[in-house]
Structure 1
Amino acid sequence: QILFFSGDRVYDNYYDEMKGRVHFSSNDPKSGDASITIRDLKNGDTGIYQCKVKKAPGLQSRKITLSVIAKPSTPKCSVDGIQEVGKELRLKCTSAEGTPPVTYTWEKIKGGNVLPATASMDITTGLLIVKNASQECSGQYRCVAENRVGSSECTVFLSVVHAANKVGVIVGAVIGVLLGLSVIALIIWCCCRQRKEKKYEKEVAHEIKEDVPPPKSRASTARSYIGSNRSSLGSFSPSNMEYHPKAQYNHVASEDFDPPPRHTPNPPPSKVAAPSLNRMGAVPVMIPAQSKDGSIV
């Protein structure tokens, strides 16, 4: 039930597929005109329709057949098979919609207007078979789908080549892809290497290095030299105390003491008796010695 009128009211919400597209042609169906109008006709509207009129004391009905005719939809063209010399090719053409019967016609529109001599066509299925294909079969083909309402068409290009040429094309394409991947890999490697170098330079710039210890000053060198000489003399005692001139003691105790050159050895000190030194104006001195903890005593 797609439409209903009763009690001066129209009910049209019964059939969703035709909702909003069907209505009574008369503004007052009870006057005796129950004709209906269907807008935006579709293929699915094809079928048998029945009109029922109920009026006391009886019920009457009448049936009518509706056939919706639509031209073929745009067909889809495709090539099935390897496009090489000596192979068999199948050119397909199919239209999804259209009122039957639909006929299909193939024609060559580029590279010669005549179909190859080895081609056979089926007008009901839209299949074109080309046996023992040659290079002369190459060109653009058109398929026309047609019925009594209208027609639609599609095109496809056929390129038949020798097997060796096709292998060369495939090899060239593979080599091109490999070269492209190699270039991309090289760029990525260079970027990674540059990033590592920058990271290394940054780490080196922030790294804390251990400095070389500074050279000892002349004063500390002199003290160390005096301490080493004094330590060899041993601790102070009356037995190892010697008399030296006052001027010589002052020279040794100076922090600016410089050892004599190696090539000029110091002459051995001459021993003079203590009474003679007293008469000469010398005074007894104590030579500092170095204790075990390294201090001068």
Structure 2
Amino acid sequence: MADTGRRWILWTLAVHLYSLQSGALTVSMRESNLEVLRGDAVTLPCSFFTSSPLTKLNVIWTLAPFSSPENPVQVIVYDHGQVMEDPSFIGRVGFTGLPWSADMLLNDTEEADAGVYRCMVNNPPETADLGIGELTLTVLSPPSLPVCQWEGDIADGGSVTLSCSVEEGIPTPEIEWDKLSPEEIPLPVDMDGDLSGSVKIINASSETSGLYRCSASNALGTEHCYVNLSIYSTPDSPSGILQGVLLTLSMSLVLLALVLLVTWLHRTGQDGRWRERKEDNESYNEIRYTPSLIKRSFV
């Protein structure tokens, strides 16, 4: 740290001497690349040297976002003692060393803040001799929670695709797939872009069933999502099923007919025997006589 401080002092003195000798305003950046964790604060350095009074000092910071570099944004302006901010940066930016430096503090950083920043300083009647100061800001963020999905045919012999995607993460998260059960197995991943990856399972079987995990990782953390895949065996063909149903129905009808027939025959036999017994009883109890026999008994 001590060596860095000494180098910075020597570099500052050299630039200051150059500005005095040339009689022109000089602008310089102490850093060309900066990184900040999303949500943290960062100071963007911009130094200038001028030999003229600072009554007409003008400082402008602009941003060319990585997402749309063709549409630069005027972040903050200092002009004749007044400060103006872009609406998207209100409350998050400010100068830290005016009027002696054009350093800008950026609070509560967002991914959209990443890009190329330019510091422009004017102090009439002097003009900037060394051009515009420029630096690149990268906003780092851990992976967002990934989203897992599956699509395809989960029948035995079918094909299934497991997909996983994340919304954000800088540096770009690495996508990995693993099968966790019944045993942990890493799976080859087909990257479908920077933030999504998939696994294709061909000719699925019961051994394919299990718990699958997608991991999205970068230097700042890891997030997971899961898919529980169940492969089922298909029954016989529809024609075979129909034949089986018809055969079962036919056998049931035949069995029912036999039961009804036996029941009918049994009941018919019982009715016949009951009638025979009834006729026999009636014949046994009946008294039969003839008039001729009665008459002979009295002669």
Task: Give me the TM-score of the superposition, normalised by structure 1.
Answer: 0.49
Q: Which has the higher contact order (CA 8 A, sep 6+)?
A: 2
Higher strand share: 2
Task: Give me the TM-score of the superposition, normalised by structure 2.
Answer: 0.49
